[in-house]
Copies of this chain bind each other. A is one copy, B any other.
Amino acid sequence: MADYETPVLEQEQSISLLDVMMRRLKRRFDLSSRAIDALNDLSFKIRNFAPNQYILREGEMATQCSYVAAGFVYRHKVLGNGARQIVAIHMTGDFIDLQHIMLDRADHNIQSLTTATLVQFPAQQLLRLCYEFDDIGRALWLETLIEAAIFREWVANVGRRDARARTAHLLCELATRREAAGLGPRGNYELPMSQEQIGDALGLTSVHVNRTLKLLESEGLIARTKRAVVVADWEGLRRAGDFDAHYLHLRDMPD
Residues of A within 8 A of B (CB): 59, 75, 77, 79-81, 83-85, 87-88, 98-99, 101-103, 105, 107-108, 127, 130-131, 134, 137-138, 141-142, 144-149, 151-156, 158-161, 165, 202-203, 242, 246-247, 249
Contacts and interface: CB of A to CB of B under 8 A. Distances in A.
A107 B87 CA distance: 19
A108 B152 contact: yes
B87 A155 contact: yes
Contact of A249 (B83, B107, B137): B107
B203 A152 contact: no
Given A146-B103, A149-B103, A158 B161 contact: no
Contacts of A156: 77, 79, 85, 87
Given A103-B249, A107-B249, A108-B152, 18 more contacts: A75-B152, A77-B156, A79-B160, A81-B160, A83-B160, A83-B161, A85-B156, A85-B159, A87-B152, A88-B152, A107-B149, A107-B153, A108-B247, A147-B148, A151-B151, A158-B158, A158-B203, A159-B203
A138 B137 CA distance: 10
Contact of A202 (B153, B159, B165): B159
A144 B23 CA distance: 24
Contacts of A145: 98-99, 101-103, 144
